[in-house]
Amino acid sequence: MLPTFVWSGEDIDRLESWWSNRIEQLIAMKQPLAASALFDEFQLEQRSNFTHPD
């Protein structure tokens, strides 16, 4: 069984900020496909860290 990671609000904010900056850099470098892939990965990561009520 894989361990469950608990993210603090500060960790999530910092990660979201890093992803946003990286996506903007890729767009500025004219690499929209890489930016799109990174955004998709971020969305998946965000969903996996969201706790669903039972």
pLDDT at 42: 76
Q: Are 20 and 38 in contact (CB under 8 A)?
A: no
Split into its structural domains, the chain has a count of: 1
Flag whether 10 is in a domain. Answer: no
User: In this model, does residue 8 exceed pLDDT 60?
Assistant: yes
Handedness of CA 41, 45, 48, 51 (dihedral sign): negative
Flag whether 34 is in a domain. Answer: yes
Q: What's the pTM value of the predicted model, to 2 decimals?
A: 0.46
CA dist 6 and 46 (Å) reads: 12
Flag whether 2 is in a domain. Answer: no
Find the domain containing 24 and state its range: 17-46
Flag whether 32 is in a domain. Answer: yes
Flag whether 6 is in a domain. Answer: no
To the nearest 10°, report the CA torsion of 29, 47, 15, 42.
-10
Q: Are 34 and 26 in contact (CB under 8 A)?
A: yes
pLDDT at 53: 53
Summarised one tens digit per residue, pLDDT across range 11-53 is 888 888 988 888 888 778 777 677 777 777 777 777 666 555 5
